[in-house]
Amino acid sequence: MNLLIDDIGELVTNDPAREGLLGIVHDAAVLVEDGRIAWIGRAADAPAADRRIDADGAAVLPGFVDSHAHLVFAGDRAAEFAARMTGERYTGGGIRTTVSATRAASDDELRGTVHRLRREALRQGTTTIEIKSGYGLSVRHEARSLRIAREVTDETTFLGAHVVPAEYADRPDDYVGLVCGPMLRAALPYARWIDVFCERGAFDADHTRAILTVGQAAGLGVRVHANQLGPGPGVQLAVELGAASADHCTHLSDADVDALAGSETVATLLPGAEFSTRSPYPDARRLLDAGVTVALATDCNPGSSYTSSMPFCVALAVREMGMSPAEAVWAATAGGARALRRTDVGVLRPGARADLTVLDAPSHLHLAYRPGVPLISEVLHNGVPQCLT
């Protein structure tokens, strides 16, 4: 059985074979068959179909690809957010608070949070999401976090090197040995990626390289939390190791920008974190002008960016980071797909996965033009209309 989405006023395809950054087709239609895009063209030329959805002149775009999220956690850090809003500086230290709560939570409690936030993201147009561990920081708890994350996504990331847990505070080398050995082995059945928080107060360059190299040798793709809290070696290490993505990229030198521009490593920017910590935003314009591939993601987590809304991140990127609406939409869809090294999502063309978001608006421009407004009217995931209530 096939499905035709008809009477689309503006179709964002991100297809490089079409004109412009977004490959926009006006007065369009899309035919979906067996969970994939079978045909795209003018509505007047649309083939017959078994079922039909009338977009009523609305804009349609690929489902958002959120390539950086931390959904497996327990507890609440609203008081920490309130303190930052009254002047307290963010240092990343609150991660250990979430670790304690996550370790104490039952599987069902963690599962409930993951599924709730995944549904919340879907209601806002996100059809592909990456989920990290990182709030367990023991062999058993990291494996548990990844096992639960795998219930809702194949894009799972082992982040045992988020911070050094309290019980290893005086023995960081021993903790790195644990991450590289028993913890990695326990994570492997559930993880596609490995990540390290390479920052002052977390993991230095030597520890980061050691962990990522071992993970890479075990078959995991590489991602890096890089240059969020200040200048550091994270971006250079990401490029050196061929990482799919260097995430945050808030404090970059000219050499960092040049390294990213000369590589296939995507700079994934997380404006929700800067919004929630009152920190300087990354300079997306500088990166784009240098030829760096940029993605946008939510960084959804309970401490520094408790949002699952990709439309909100698009609006922040336009308002605060020098991106055009078209650049921000591309970064939130095709850019996220690049950061996950996926070619089947973030784009609408024959053969791609039929993940589509229908806006209650005539153009993608409204995602930035009308910030905070619930503009997602319908979502198709693998060609199946989703219940958004």
Annotated binding site for 4-imidazolone-5-propanoate: 77, 135, 162, 228, 304
Q: Dmax of the chain from CA atoms?
A: 69
β-pairing, 2-11 vs 51-54, is parallel
Q: Where are the beta strands (DSSP E) in the chain?
A: 2-11, 25-33, 36-42, 51-54, 59-62, 64-66, 126-132, 155-161, 193-198, 221-226, 245-248, 266-269, 294-296, 356-359, 376-381, 384-385
- Complete DSSP assignment for 264-291: S-EEEE-HHHHHHHT-PPP-HHHHHHTT
Task: Decide: 212 and 159 in contact? Cβ < 8 Å.
Answer: no
Among 384, 329, 318, smallest CA distance to 59 is for 329
Q: How many angstroms separate the CA atoms of 190 and 219, rounded?
A: 12
* Beta bridge pairs of residue 52: 4
Burial of 247 (0-12, 13-18, 19+ CB in 10 A): buried
Instruction: List residues forming the annotated binding site for N-formimidoyl-L-glutamate.
Output: 135, 301, 303
Instruction: List residues forming the annotated binding site for Fe(3+).
Output: 68, 70, 225, 299
Task: Tell me, rounded to whole angstroms, the distance of Cα 209 from its chain centroid.
Answer: 23
Alpha carbon distance, N-terminus to C-terminus of the chain: 25
Which H or E element spans position 82?
helix 78-85
Hunting for tokens 């929700």 — which residue is that? 272
Task: Decide: 267 and 294 in contact? Cβ < 8 Å.
Answer: yes
Instruction: List residues forming the annotated binding site.
Output: 68, 70, 77, 135, 162, 225, 228, 299, 301, 303-304
Q: How many angstroms separate the CA atoms of 229 and 251, rounded?
A: 7
